[in-house]
């Protein structure tokens, strides 16, 4: 199945809009995983297996692996998710943004090396920085639109064509850029009014929504602003609030409880 097909199926099958972010930081691991060469993989595998029953997707952030020379463990992890939790899409959070042959290599990295179902990209350099990803049939491309960080307003709220830049990005993604039908947008939970505006522009297009949990986004406001008519359409991401819910050797069970609570809270407002 394509990314959009697998995502739609996962939403229906799991009855969850939760995307579990995987941002492994070894300094926060429990003592049993300290100073182990495979600690990042083992930590993330335990989190994935514990939270899998409550999630509809996973989002590993590549920087947390690359900074520790653990790209091979990221490959193992994505393979493990596909094998052990089939049907749950993996979004590689890389926020790549380049053009031409360089973008082609980034696309190969995401889809051929890591076998991700989708990847996040930065649209600042325009469509020719996104097009190489779309050449990989069935793979998803999730474009930064209205990000959850405070500094996002520095550029995303600049007026162009009589409206904020983030709205122009949403319109381009929904109309000109989405010929393959596999695009989504990143819109932060810290800006529910903007989520509602983007939803009105893009229709049924999926929205990856970071910012609940540690970043303080309001779950009710997020869901009410971003849901589609069918009560789906969102990958609501929580990372630190779930994966570091416990710091001892019971970290995986603590993560499972946090994931279940987050999923159930989201479902209250669908």
pLDDT at 212: 81
Residue 34 among the catalytic residues? no
Cα–Cα distance for residue pair 75/61, rounded to 1 Å: 12
Bridge-based pairing state of the strands 234-238 and 18-22: parallel
Q: Which CATH superfamily is domain 3-268 in?
A: Aldolase class I (3.20.20.70)
C-beta separation of 245 from 28 below 8 A: no
Tens place of pLDDT per residue across the chain (270 aa) = 999 999 999 999 999 999 999 999 999 999 999 889 999 999 999 999 999 999 999 999 999 999 999 999 999 999 999 999 999 999 999 999 999 899 999 999 999 999 999 999 999 999 999 999 999 999 999 999 999 888 888 999 899 989 999 999 999 999 999 999 999 999 998 888 999 999 999 999 999 999 886 566 789 999 999 999 999 999 999 999 999 999 899 999 999 999 999 999 999 998
pLDDT at 213: 64
User: Nearest to residue 192, comparing CAs of 163, 234, 159, 154?
Assistant: 234
**Angle formed at CA 184 by CA 183 and CA 185, multiple of 5 degrees:** 135
Cα–Cα distance for residue pair 263/101, rounded to 1 Å: 40
Locate the domains of the chain by residue range.
Answer: 3-268
- Could you read off the pLDDT of 198-256 as tens digits, one per residue? 999 999 999 999 988 656 678 999 999 999 999 999 999 999 999 999 989 999 999 99
pLDDT at 185: 98
Q: Which of 28, 34, 59, 95 is catalytic?
A: 95
């Amino acid at each position: 199945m394509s990314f959009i097909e697998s995502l739609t199926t996962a939403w229906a099958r799991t009855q969850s809009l939760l995307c579990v972010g995987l941002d492994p930081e070894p300094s926060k691991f429990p003592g049993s995983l300290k100073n182990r060469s495979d600690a990042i993989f083992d930590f993330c595998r335990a989190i994935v297996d514990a939270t899998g029953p409550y999630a509809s997707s996973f989002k590993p952030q590549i920087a947390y692996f690359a900074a520790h020379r653990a790209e091979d463990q990221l490959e193992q992890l994505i393979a493990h998710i596909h094998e052990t939790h089939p049907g749950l899409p993996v979004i590689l959070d890389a926020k790549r943004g380049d053009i031409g042959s360089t973008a082609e290599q980034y696309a190969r990295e995401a889809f051929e090396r890591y076998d991700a179902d989708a990847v996040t990209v930065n649209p600042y350099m325009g469509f020719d920085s996104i097009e190489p990803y779309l050449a990989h049939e069935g793979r998803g491309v999730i474009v930064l639109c209205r990000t959850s960080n405070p500094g996002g307003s520095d550029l995303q709220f600049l007026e162009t064509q009589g409206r904020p830049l983030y709205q122009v990005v949403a319109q381009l993604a929904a109309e000109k850029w989405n010929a393959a039908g596999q695009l989504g947008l990143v819109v932060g939970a810290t800006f529910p009014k903007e989520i509602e505006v983007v939803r009105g522009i893009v229709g049924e297009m999926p929205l990856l929504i970071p910012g609940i949990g540690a970043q303080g986004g309001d779950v009710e406001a997020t869901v009410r602003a971003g849901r589609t008519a069918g009560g789906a359409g969102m990958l609501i991401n929580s990372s630190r609030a779930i994966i570091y819910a416990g710091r001892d050797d019971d970290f995986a069970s603590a993560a499972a409880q946090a994931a279940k609570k987050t999923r159930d809270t989201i479902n209250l407002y669908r």
